[in-house]
Protein backbone atom coordinates (compact mmCIF):
# COMPACT_ATOMS: atom_id res chain seq x y z
CA UNK A 1 0.00 0.00 0.00
CA UNK A 2 1.23 3.49 -0.85
CA UNK A 3 1.72 5.77 2.11
CA UNK A 4 2.71 9.41 2.31
CA UNK A 5 5.35 10.03 4.94
CA UNK A 6 4.34 12.68 7.40
CA UNK A 7 7.25 15.06 7.98
CA UNK A 8 7.69 16.96 11.23
CA UNK A 9 6.09 20.39 10.97
CA UNK A 10 8.52 23.22 10.30
CA UNK A 11 8.60 25.93 12.97
CA UNK A 12 5.67 28.35 12.95
CA UNK A 13 6.33 32.09 12.79
CA UNK A 14 6.59 34.03 16.08
CA UNK A 15 3.14 34.65 17.52
CA UNK A 16 1.62 31.63 15.78
CA UNK A 17 3.49 28.83 17.63
CA UNK A 18 0.42 27.72 19.56
CA UNK A 19 -1.75 27.26 16.47
CA UNK A 20 -2.83 23.70 15.84
CA UNK A 21 -1.51 22.26 12.58
CA UNK A 22 -2.97 19.02 11.28
CA UNK A 23 -1.34 16.81 8.65
CA UNK A 24 -3.54 16.61 5.56
CA UNK A 25 -2.56 13.46 3.61
CA UNK A 26 -4.69 14.37 0.61
CA UNK A 27 -2.85 17.64 0.08
CA UNK A 28 0.43 16.31 1.41
CA UNK A 29 1.02 19.21 3.78
CA UNK A 30 0.02 20.62 7.15
CA UNK A 31 -3.33 22.41 7.34
CA UNK A 32 -4.33 25.25 9.67
CA UNK A 33 -7.95 26.16 10.29
CA UNK A 34 -8.80 29.87 10.53
CA UNK A 35 -11.79 30.53 12.80
CA UNK A 36 -13.98 33.66 12.83
CA UNK A 37 -11.97 36.55 14.27
CA UNK A 38 -8.68 34.74 13.69
CA UNK A 39 -5.75 35.14 11.35
CA UNK A 40 -2.60 33.20 10.55
CA UNK A 41 0.61 33.95 8.67
CA UNK A 42 3.21 31.43 7.51
CA UNK A 43 6.38 31.09 5.49
CA UNK A 44 5.90 27.30 5.20
CA UNK A 45 4.16 25.47 2.37
CA UNK A 46 1.00 24.95 4.41
CA UNK A 47 -2.71 24.93 3.60
CA UNK A 48 -5.01 27.47 5.28
CA UNK A 49 -8.62 26.35 5.57
CA UNK A 50 -11.75 28.23 6.48
CA UNK A 51 -15.51 28.04 6.03
CA UNK A 52 -17.28 31.32 5.29
CA UNK A 53 -20.88 32.42 5.29
CA UNK A 54 -21.40 36.16 5.49
CA UNK A 55 -17.89 36.57 6.92
CA UNK A 56 -15.06 37.52 4.61
CA UNK A 57 -11.51 36.19 4.40
CA UNK A 58 -8.63 38.10 2.85
CA UNK A 59 -5.82 35.88 1.57
CA UNK A 60 -2.67 37.93 1.15
CA UNK A 61 0.89 36.97 0.26
CA UNK A 62 4.12 38.60 -0.77
CA UNK A 63 4.81 37.15 -4.21
CA UNK A 64 8.58 37.61 -3.84
CA UNK A 65 9.49 36.23 -0.41
CA UNK A 66 7.12 33.29 0.14
CA UNK A 67 5.15 34.56 3.13
CA UNK A 68 1.37 34.70 3.20
CA UNK A 69 -1.69 34.46 5.37
CA UNK A 70 -5.41 34.62 5.83
CA UNK A 71 -7.86 36.37 8.13
CA UNK A 72 -11.56 35.70 8.73
CA UNK A 73 -13.88 38.36 10.08
CA UNK A 74 -17.12 40.28 9.89
CA UNK A 75 -17.99 43.75 11.08
CA UNK A 76 -20.08 44.34 14.19
CA UNK A 77 -23.36 45.88 13.04
CA UNK A 78 -26.16 47.77 14.67
CA UNK A 79 -24.28 48.78 17.83
CA UNK A 80 -22.81 51.95 16.43
CA UNK A 81 -23.73 55.26 17.91
CA UNK A 82 -21.74 56.87 15.13
CA UNK A 83 -21.93 56.60 11.41
CA UNK A 84 -18.61 57.98 10.26
CA UNK A 85 -15.16 56.84 9.22
CA UNK A 86 -14.25 56.02 12.85
CA UNK A 87 -17.33 53.83 13.46
CA UNK A 88 -17.03 50.60 15.44
CA UNK A 89 -17.45 48.61 12.21
CA UNK A 90 -14.68 50.45 10.40
CA UNK A 91 -12.29 50.31 13.33
CA UNK A 92 -12.88 46.59 13.90
CA UNK A 93 -12.52 45.76 10.19
CA UNK A 94 -9.43 47.91 9.94
CA UNK A 95 -7.94 46.10 12.92
CA UNK A 96 -8.64 42.68 11.35
CA UNK A 97 -6.98 43.70 8.08
CA UNK A 98 -4.07 45.45 9.75
CA UNK A 99 -3.30 42.45 11.99
CA UNK A 100 -2.84 40.30 8.89
CA UNK A 101 -0.94 42.89 6.83
CA UNK A 102 1.32 43.94 9.71
CA UNK A 103 2.23 40.30 10.39
CA UNK A 104 3.26 39.96 6.74
CA UNK A 105 5.26 43.21 6.81
CA UNK A 106 7.02 42.08 10.00
CA UNK A 107 8.22 39.02 8.08
CA UNK A 108 9.80 41.25 5.47
CA UNK A 109 6.89 41.59 3.03
CA UNK A 110 6.54 44.90 1.21
CA UNK A 111 3.23 46.52 0.32
CA UNK A 112 4.13 46.72 -3.37
CA UNK A 113 4.52 42.91 -3.60
CA UNK A 114 1.26 41.98 -1.88
CA UNK A 115 -1.20 39.84 -3.82
CA UNK A 116 -4.76 39.85 -2.46
CA UNK A 117 -7.64 37.42 -2.92
CA UNK A 118 -10.97 37.79 -1.13
CA UNK A 119 -13.70 35.28 -0.38
CA UNK A 120 -17.06 35.12 1.34
CA UNK A 121 -19.63 37.79 2.04
CA UNK A 122 -22.64 35.60 1.22
CA UNK A 123 -26.12 36.52 2.35
CA UNK A 124 -26.49 33.87 5.02
CA UNK A 125 -27.63 35.23 8.35
CA UNK A 126 -31.35 35.49 8.58
CA UNK A 127 -31.56 39.20 9.25
CA UNK A 128 -32.99 42.26 7.54
CA UNK A 129 -29.60 43.66 6.59
CA UNK A 130 -27.21 42.14 4.08
CA UNK A 131 -24.32 41.58 6.50
CA UNK A 132 -22.24 39.77 3.87
CA UNK A 133 -22.68 42.71 1.51
CA UNK A 134 -21.55 45.21 4.18
CA UNK A 135 -18.48 43.08 4.92
CA UNK A 136 -17.56 43.01 1.23
CA UNK A 137 -18.15 46.73 0.88
CA UNK A 138 -15.77 47.36 3.77
CA UNK A 139 -13.01 45.10 2.42
CA UNK A 140 -13.18 46.63 -1.06
CA UNK A 141 -13.04 50.18 0.30
CA UNK A 142 -10.19 49.29 2.66
CA UNK A 143 -8.13 47.70 -0.12
CA UNK A 144 -8.75 50.66 -2.42
CA UNK A 145 -7.65 53.09 0.32
CA UNK A 146 -4.52 51.01 0.90
CA UNK A 147 -3.85 50.83 -2.86
CA UNK A 148 -3.96 47.02 -2.84
CA UNK A 149 -5.70 45.43 -5.80
CA UNK A 150 -7.70 42.20 -5.72
CA UNK A 151 -6.32 39.59 -8.14
CA UNK A 152 -9.09 37.03 -7.57
CA UNK A 153 -12.31 36.68 -5.61
CA UNK A 154 -15.26 34.44 -5.04
CA UNK A 155 -17.83 36.46 -3.13
CA UNK A 156 -21.52 37.20 -2.41
CA UNK A 157 -24.27 34.73 -3.35
CA UNK A 158 -26.30 32.80 -0.80
CA UNK A 159 -24.23 29.69 -0.05
CA UNK A 160 -21.42 29.06 2.43
CA UNK A 161 -17.96 28.40 0.99
CA UNK A 162 -15.04 26.28 2.05
CA UNK A 163 -11.78 27.96 1.07
CA UNK A 164 -8.40 26.24 0.83
CA UNK A 165 -5.52 28.70 0.43
CA UNK A 166 -1.93 27.79 -0.35
CA UNK A 167 0.16 30.85 0.54
CA UNK A 168 3.38 29.46 -0.94
CA UNK A 169 1.89 29.44 -4.46
CA UNK A 170 -1.07 31.79 -3.96
CA UNK A 171 -3.43 29.12 -5.25
CA UNK A 172 -6.92 29.02 -3.74
CA UNK A 173 -9.67 26.44 -4.09
CA UNK A 174 -13.28 27.22 -3.25
CA UNK A 175 -16.16 24.82 -2.84
CA UNK A 176 -19.83 25.63 -2.10
CA UNK A 177 -20.90 23.75 1.02
CA UNK A 178 -24.69 23.90 1.27
CA UNK A 179 -24.76 20.99 3.71
CA UNK A 180 -23.13 22.97 6.53
CA UNK A 181 -25.35 26.03 6.14
CA UNK A 182 -27.06 25.66 9.55
CA UNK A 183 -23.72 25.12 11.29
CA UNK A 184 -22.14 28.15 9.59
CA UNK A 185 -25.14 30.28 10.46
CA UNK A 186 -24.94 29.28 14.14
CA UNK A 187 -21.15 29.85 14.30
CA UNK A 188 -21.40 33.27 12.68
CA UNK A 189 -24.29 34.26 14.91
CA UNK A 190 -22.17 33.45 18.00
CA UNK A 191 -19.22 35.39 16.59
CA UNK A 192 -21.43 38.37 15.75
CA UNK A 193 -22.97 38.38 19.25
CA UNK A 194 -19.48 38.24 20.72
CA UNK A 195 -18.05 41.18 18.74
CA UNK A 196 -21.20 43.23 19.19
CA UNK A 197 -21.00 42.92 22.95
CA UNK A 198 -17.31 43.66 23.30
CA UNK A 199 -16.11 47.25 23.16
CA UNK A 200 -13.98 47.95 20.08
CA UNK A 201 -11.09 49.28 22.16
CA UNK A 202 -7.57 48.18 23.04
CA UNK A 203 -5.66 48.93 26.25
CA UNK A 204 -4.09 52.27 27.01
CA UNK A 205 -1.05 52.63 29.26
CA UNK A 206 0.66 55.87 30.16
CA UNK A 207 4.26 55.38 31.27
CA UNK A 208 4.57 58.34 33.62
CA UNK B 1 -5.42 74.89 19.31
CA UNK B 2 -3.00 71.99 19.77
CA UNK B 3 -1.32 70.45 16.75
CA UNK B 4 -0.80 66.67 16.59
CA UNK B 5 1.56 64.83 14.27
CA UNK B 6 -0.14 61.55 13.25
CA UNK B 7 2.19 58.92 11.78
CA UNK B 8 0.93 55.69 10.20
CA UNK B 9 1.79 53.80 7.01
CA UNK B 10 -1.84 52.73 6.55
CA UNK B 11 -3.89 55.30 4.62
CA UNK B 12 -7.18 54.13 6.12
CA UNK B 13 -5.77 54.28 9.66
CA UNK B 14 -4.46 57.83 9.02
CA UNK B 15 -7.92 58.80 7.80
CA UNK B 16 -9.66 57.38 10.91
CA UNK B 17 -7.17 58.93 13.33
CA UNK B 18 -7.17 62.33 11.59
CA UNK B 19 -10.96 62.38 11.47
CA UNK B 20 -11.15 61.57 15.20
CA UNK B 21 -8.60 64.22 16.18
CA UNK B 22 -9.99 66.95 13.90
CA UNK B 23 -13.52 66.26 15.21
CA UNK B 24 -12.15 66.92 18.71
CA UNK B 25 -10.75 70.28 17.59
CA UNK B 26 -7.09 69.40 17.06
CA UNK B 27 -5.00 70.39 14.09
CA UNK B 28 -3.37 67.38 12.44
CA UNK B 29 -0.17 66.98 10.45
CA UNK B 30 0.07 63.56 8.77
CA UNK B 31 3.15 61.47 7.97
CA UNK B 32 3.41 58.01 6.39
CA UNK B 33 6.45 56.67 8.30
CA UNK B 34 9.26 57.72 10.64
CA UNK B 35 11.39 59.25 7.91
CA UNK B 36 8.45 61.28 6.60
CA UNK B 37 7.64 62.37 10.19
CA UNK B 38 11.18 63.70 10.75
CA UNK B 39 10.86 65.61 7.47
CA UNK B 40 7.54 67.11 8.62
CA UNK B 41 8.89 68.33 11.98
CA UNK B 42 12.01 69.88 10.46
CA UNK B 43 11.75 73.62 9.91
CA UNK B 44 8.53 74.17 11.84
CA UNK B 45 7.76 74.94 15.49
CA UNK B 46 7.41 71.70 17.50
CA UNK B 47 3.98 70.06 17.37
CA UNK B 48 2.18 69.63 20.72
CA UNK B 49 1.94 65.84 20.58
CA UNK B 50 3.02 62.95 18.37
CA UNK B 51 0.76 59.92 17.81
CA UNK B 52 2.69 57.23 15.91
CA UNK B 53 2.17 53.67 14.72
CA UNK B 54 4.91 51.17 15.67
CA UNK B 55 5.27 48.83 12.68
CA UNK B 56 6.11 50.98 9.68
CA UNK B 57 8.55 50.66 6.77
CA UNK B 58 11.66 52.87 6.42
CA UNK B 59 11.63 53.90 10.09
CA UNK B 60 9.37 52.33 12.70
CA UNK B 61 7.64 54.15 15.55
CA UNK B 62 10.16 53.18 18.23
CA UNK B 63 13.10 54.43 16.18
CA UNK B 64 11.10 57.60 15.51
CA UNK B 65 10.73 58.15 19.27
CA UNK B 66 14.54 57.85 19.68
CA UNK B 67 15.17 60.28 16.82
CA UNK B 68 12.62 62.80 18.10
CA UNK B 69 13.98 62.65 21.66
CA UNK B 70 17.39 63.61 20.27
CA UNK B 71 15.94 66.83 18.82
CA UNK B 72 16.06 69.94 21.00
CA UNK B 73 12.36 70.80 20.63
CA UNK B 74 11.12 67.25 21.24
CA UNK B 75 12.75 66.22 24.52
CA UNK B 76 9.52 66.69 26.50
CA UNK B 77 6.78 66.62 23.83
CA UNK B 78 4.34 63.76 24.55
CA UNK B 79 4.71 60.85 22.12
CA UNK B 80 2.00 58.19 22.14
CA UNK B 81 2.47 54.94 20.24
CA UNK B 82 -0.71 53.51 18.67
CA UNK B 83 -0.27 49.92 17.57
CA UNK B 84 -1.74 46.46 16.94
CA UNK B 85 1.33 45.20 18.82
CA UNK B 86 0.32 43.77 22.21
CA UNK B 87 3.68 42.05 23.02
CA UNK B 88 4.95 43.27 26.43
CA UNK B 89 8.61 43.31 25.28
CA UNK B 90 7.74 45.65 22.41
CA UNK B 91 5.93 47.94 24.84
CA UNK B 92 9.00 47.97 27.12
CA UNK B 93 11.13 48.87 24.10
CA UNK B 94 8.81 51.81 23.40
CA UNK B 95 8.98 52.93 27.01
CA UNK B 96 12.79 52.67 27.07
CA UNK B 97 12.99 54.71 23.84
CA UNK B 98 11.16 57.53 25.61
CA UNK B 99 7.52 57.13 24.56
CA UNK B 100 4.89 58.68 26.83
CA UNK B 101 2.27 55.98 26.39
CA UNK B 102 1.16 52.86 24.54
CA UNK B 103 -2.29 52.52 22.96
CA UNK B 104 -3.36 49.18 21.52
CA UNK B 105 -5.63 49.18 18.45
CA UNK B 106 -8.50 49.11 17.77
CA UNK B 107 -8.60 52.52 19.44
CA UNK B 108 -11.79 53.87 20.98
CA UNK B 109 -12.25 57.46 19.69
CA UNK B 110 -13.48 58.89 23.02
CA UNK B 111 -10.71 57.17 25.01
CA UNK B 112 -8.07 58.27 22.51
CA UNK B 113 -9.16 61.91 22.69
CA UNK B 114 -9.49 61.67 26.49
CA UNK B 115 -5.96 60.30 26.81
CA UNK B 116 -4.52 63.00 24.54
CA UNK B 117 -6.25 65.76 26.53
CA UNK B 118 -4.98 64.25 29.78
CA UNK B 119 -1.41 64.05 28.47
CA UNK B 120 -1.55 67.60 27.12
CA UNK B 121 -2.75 68.74 30.55
Q: Number of folded domains in chain A?
A: 1
pLDDT at A47 over 90: yes
A8 within domain boundaries: no
- β-bridge partners, A114: A62
**Subunit contact B108:A147, Cβ cutoff 8 A:** no
**Subunit contact A202:B115, Cβ cutoff 8 A:** no
A37 within domain boundaries: yes
Return all residues near A148 (Cβ < 8 A) that are at least 6 apart.
A60, A111, A114, A116
User: How confident is the model at residue A81, as a pLDDT?
Assistant: 62
Question: Which CATH number goes with the domain that contains A28?
Answer: 3.30.1330.200
A180 within domain boundaries: yes
The residue of B6, B10, B101, B106 whose CB has the most chain A CBs within 10 angstroms, and thus the best one to mutate to test that interface, is B106
**Subunit contact A111:B84, Cβ cutoff 8 A:** no
A15 within domain boundaries: no
User: CA of B5, closest CA in chain A: separation in Å?
Assistant: 18
pLDDT in tens, A102-138: 999 999 999 999 999 999 999 986 667 889 999 999 9
What domain range includes position A167? 22-197
Q: Does domain B3-120 have CATH number 3.40.50.1100?
A: no
Domain boundaries, chain B: 3-120
- Average pLDDT (A50-79) is 94
Which chain B residues are within 8 Å of A86, Cβ to Cβ? 16, 19-20, 23, 109
What secondary structure letter does DSSP report for B78?
Answer: -
**Confidence band, pLDDT 50/70/90 cuts, at residue A164:** very high
The residue of B11, B12, B76, B102 whose CB has the most chain A CBs within 10 angstroms, and thus the best one to mutate to test that interface, is B12
User: How confident is the model at residue B43, as a pLDDT?
Assistant: 86
**Average pLDDT of chain A to the nearest whole number:** 93
A143 within domain boundaries: yes
A12 within domain boundaries: no
User: How confident is the model at residue A128, as a pLDDT?
Assistant: 73
The residue of B15, B57, B69, B84 whose CB has the most chain A CBs within 10 angstroms, and thus the best one to mutate to test that interface, is B84
pLDDT at A58 over 80: yes
**Subunit contact B11:A84, Cβ cutoff 8 A:** no
**Confidence band, pLDDT 50/70/90 cuts, at residue A4:** low
User: CA of B46, closest CA in chain A: separation in Å?
Assistant: 21
Amino acid sequence: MYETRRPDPRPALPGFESRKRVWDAQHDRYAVKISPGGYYVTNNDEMLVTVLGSCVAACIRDTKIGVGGMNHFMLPVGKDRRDDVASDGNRYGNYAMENLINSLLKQGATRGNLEVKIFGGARILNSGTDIGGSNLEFVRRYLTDEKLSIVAEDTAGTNPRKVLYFPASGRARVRRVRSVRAHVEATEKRYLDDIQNKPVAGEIELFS
Amino acid sequence: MATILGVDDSASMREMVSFTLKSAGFEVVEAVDGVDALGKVAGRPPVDLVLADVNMPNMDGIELVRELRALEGYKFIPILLLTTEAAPEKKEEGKAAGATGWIVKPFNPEQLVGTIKKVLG
